[in-house]
């Protein structure tokens, strides 16, 4: 499934202090498919992108995410509701050469100005970065029963062998 690009002109967007609100389905993002729980299809995350000025007075885009994503706990494979709230500032620069060297004290993110900036791609990337790499329930809070799940799961090759034999 291809996503319809949502393009903005970063310069105009910031100059006019525009705002875009939208929703994105977690299951649309291929890169997080493996971390999602089976029932996560309906999970939606709302986003707001606004044109503003950073605390340094530079033209910026601010991206807010809010929602809940159902992840799959890496320890018990059980369902894990993960509340997501994030707010990220991106200073918009004229070209890549202006982006400062990576500085650990610098918490600012950067975007290169564009007349056709893809908002959807930014939202997807930020959502991806906001999720834990290996989601796990709190210690002792696992709910899924891994032993039963693995016990029931049939090895597909064994099943094939069984079919061949018969």
Residues in touch with Zn ion (CB under 5 A): 73, 75-76, 78, 137, 142
CA distance 21 to 41: 21
Give whichever of 25 and 137 is closer to Zn ion, judged by the CB atom: 137
29 versus 76: smaller Cβ distance to Zn ion: 76
Place of tokens 């606004």: 50
Going along the chain, which residue ranges are E strands? 7-8, 19-25, 44-53, 59-72, 79-93, 109-112, 117-118
Min dist CB 141 to Zn ion, Å, is 7
* DSSP alpha helix (H) spans, the chain: 10-15, 119-130, 146-152, 156-165
Query: Least distance from C-beta 39 to Zn ion, angstroms?
Result: 15
62 or 136: CB nearest Zn ion: 136
Cβ 135 vs Cβ 77: under 8 Å: no
Beta carbon nearer to Zn ion, 71 or 123: 71
Least distance from Zn ion to the Cβ atom of residue 40, Å:
15
We find the least distance from the C-beta atom of residue 78 to Zn ion, in angstroms, to be 5
């Amino acid at each position: 499934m291809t996503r319809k690009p949502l393009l903005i002109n970063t310069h105009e967007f910031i100059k006019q202090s525009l705002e875009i609100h939208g929703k994105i389905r977690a299951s649309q993002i291929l890169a997080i498919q493996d971390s999602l729980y089976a029932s996560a299809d309906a999970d939606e995350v709302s986003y707001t992108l606004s044109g503003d000025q950073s605390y340094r007075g530079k033209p910026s885009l601010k991206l807010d995410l809010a929602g809940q994503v159902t992840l799959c706990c890496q320890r018990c494979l059980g369902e894990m509701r993960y509340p997501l709230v994030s707010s990220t500032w991106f200073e918009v620069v004229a070209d890549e050469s202006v982006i400062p060297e990576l500085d650990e004290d610098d918490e600012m993110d950067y975007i290169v100005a564009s007349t056709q900036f893809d908002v959807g791609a930014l939202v997807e990337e930020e959502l991806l970065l906001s999720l834990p790499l290996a989601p796990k329930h709190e210690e002792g809070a696992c709910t899924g029963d891994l032993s039963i799940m693995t016990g029931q799961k049939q090895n597909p090759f064994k099943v094939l062998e069984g079919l061949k034999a018969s």
